[in-house]
């Protein structure tokens, strides 16, 4: 069961790479796409959206690419996924009922709503600095290391 969309997952993965390599300056979208083994055009659109909302900066030119707009400890995961998710709107019923509220709840409503609240709390209180700790092996780690060394 996926809690976040694939776009949000790509955004989180790319932002984590940028947080881990922020001292190296901008990272080209092709390098990120290769390292993460994701479609380049899709990732480019995703990162451009994050630049529009102020999470990333985009640098043009031969040595351009994307980098964090602020220090990694000031960017929450919520900020990264919010452009691609609908957390604050009515959550979709787990059992597919057209109306699922406290007044007309399905059998899973209370637990499902509580889970959604916990996910949002995690995203709001976890920063990129938290994700950048330690060592993460990306699908094509060698490409990333060659490009950022």
The contacts of residue 27 (CB under 8 Å, 6+ apart) are 17, 18, 21, 65, 66, 67, 147, 148
Instruction: Give the residue, 144 or 81, on which the prediction is more confident.
Output: 81
Say if strands 56-59 and 65-68 run parallel, antiparallel, or are unpaired.
Answer: antiparallel
pLDDT value for 132 = 87
**In what helix (H) or strand (E) does residue 146 lie, and over which residues does it extend?**
helix 141-148
The contacts of residue 123 (CB under 8 Å, 6+ apart) are 76, 77, 78, 81, 87
Q: What is the pLDDT of residues 50-80, one digit of tens each?
A: 999 999 999 998 888 999 999 999 999 999 9
Q: What is the pLDDT of residues 86-137, one digit of tens each?
A: 875 556 788 888 888 888 899 998 888 888 889 899 999 999 999 888 666 6
**In what helix (H) or strand (E) does residue 129 lie, and over which residues does it extend?**
helix 128-132
Classify residue 37 as exposed, middle or buried by CB count within 10 Å of its CB (0-12, 13-18, 19+).
exposed
DSSP string for residues in 9-53: HHHHHHHHHHHHTGGG--B-HHHHHHHHT--HHHHHHHHHHHHHT
Q: Which two tokens stand for residue 93?
A: 């019923």
**In what helix (H) or strand (E) does residue 119 lie, and over which residues does it extend?**
helix 109-125
Q: Which two tokens stand for residue 96?
A: 């597919």
Q: What is the mean pLDDT of the chain?
A: 87
Question: What pTM value is reported for the model?
Answer: 0.84
């Amino acid at each position: 069961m996926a809690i976040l969309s694939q776009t949000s997952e790509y955004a989180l993965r790319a932002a984590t790479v940028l947080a881990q390599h922020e001292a190296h300056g901008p990272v080209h979208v092709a390098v990120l796409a290769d390292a993460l083994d994701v479609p380049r055009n899709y990732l480019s659109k995703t990162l451009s959206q994050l630049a529009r909302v102020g999470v990333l900066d985009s640098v043009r030119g031969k040595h351009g690419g994307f980098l964090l707009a602020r220090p990694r400890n000031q960017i929450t995961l919520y900020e990264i996924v919010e452009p691609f998710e609908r957390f604050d709107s009515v959550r979709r019923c787990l059992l597919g009922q057209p109306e699922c509220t406290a007044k007309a709840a399905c059998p899973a409503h209370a637990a499902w709503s509580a889970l959604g609240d916990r996910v949002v709390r995690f995203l709001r209180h976890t920063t990129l600095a938290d994700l950048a700790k330690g060592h993460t092996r990306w699908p094509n780690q060698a490409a990333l290391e060659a490009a950022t060394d």
